[in-house]
Copies of this chain bind each other. A is one copy, B any other.
């Protein structure tokens, strides 16, 4: 399995009474090398378990077969699964994946980018930090290597990206709640500097409008996608004079704390209040009641992102081509909204 000693193309060449250049060419099926030679080289390479040194290759060609992935945090299930998907595709293409976390910080995002470029990655797949509102560093980055954004994308023209259909998430969420008979639908909104949360809110508004329900500013709970904010907002909501009868949370985390808080207040879900989340986090099906939420196909998002990047990396024609992909979410109707 493991090369005992460092073995190079020169070793192969010597054994075959030829030169390194011939070996190098034979190994990559250069057209002007004889069939016989190719076979001989490959056989010997196999026998000696020879693998060309990627570092030397990298130095010589500038291509390193490495891509970088930058995410806000790796220990979020969503990002971890996306990375899993990226990995799968990258591996298939012989690329390895190096990972860095921005911890939601603009500064650390810049640092991560620098580190990646320093490592001479061939391309980058990233999801921006929530604190990132200025995109200069991204523009600069894109001039150096191909970049594919996913999920949290900057509002810039001419970027390649893969996202969920966030407008549809908002729209379908409200539509579903209305169908279930809910009339006063609150929204736990995400940070509005992130496009996806603006779109979820936009979908929410449009669905209300299309169903002749009034949009009420007081039904919007801003910046409520974490557990602590979910708790806080839910307490506020339960104490409000005109209490909503449903909650569309922009993420599962706040939806889950909502369920917990409401239940502890002795109010029934789904009959008195319905709760709907986004992301289908692990175990979403195991709360009581089970959480209605959107499956987002994280792994697929990773795979698609990697495919886009691979294309840009390997197909010279595609370099200037803008590639985008929108993944349709799938509503998982469960106990928290089924009256």
Instruction: Encode A54-72 as 1/0 by CB contact (under 8 A) with B.
Output: 1110110000101000000
Report the minimal beta-carbon distance from A214 to chain B, rounded to whole angstroms.
33
Query: Is residue A257 within 8 Å, beta carbon to beta carbon, of the partner chain?
Result: yes
Q: DSSP class of A's interface residues: helix, strand, loop or mixed?
A: helix
**Chain A to chain B contacts (Cβ below 8 Å), 30 pairs:** A1-B137, A53-B59, A53-B120, A54-B120, A55-B58, A55-B120, A59-B59, A66-B119, A74-B80, A74-B83, A74-B87, A75-B80, A75-B81, A75-B83, A76-B80, A77-B80, A83-B99, A87-B99, A87-B100, A87-B101, A96-B115, A96-B119, A98-B99, A257-B286, A259-B286, A260-B286, A281-B282, A283-B283, A283-B287, A288-B288
Query: Is residue A97 within 8 Å, beta carbon to beta carbon, of the partner chain?
Result: yes
A-B residue pairs, 5 tightest by C-beta: A80-B80, A75-B81, A75-B80, A75-B84, A96-B98
Query: Is residue A311 within 8 Å, beta carbon to beta carbon, of the partner chain?
Result: no
The residue on B at minimum CB distance from A298 is B75
Report the minimal beta-carbon distance from A136 to chain B, rounded to whole angstroms.
8
Report which residue of A73, A256, A282 has the largest number of chain B beta carbons within 10 angstroms of its beta carbon: A282
Chain A residues with a Cβ under 8 A of chain B? 1-3, 51, 53-56, 58-59, 64, 66, 73-77, 79-81, 83-84, 87, 91, 96-101, 110, 113-115, 117-120, 137, 140-141, 143-144, 256-257, 259-260, 263, 281-283, 286-288, 298-299
The answer to whether B143 and A51 have CB atoms under 8 Å apart is no
On chain B, the residues within 8 Å of A83 by CB distance are 74-75, 99
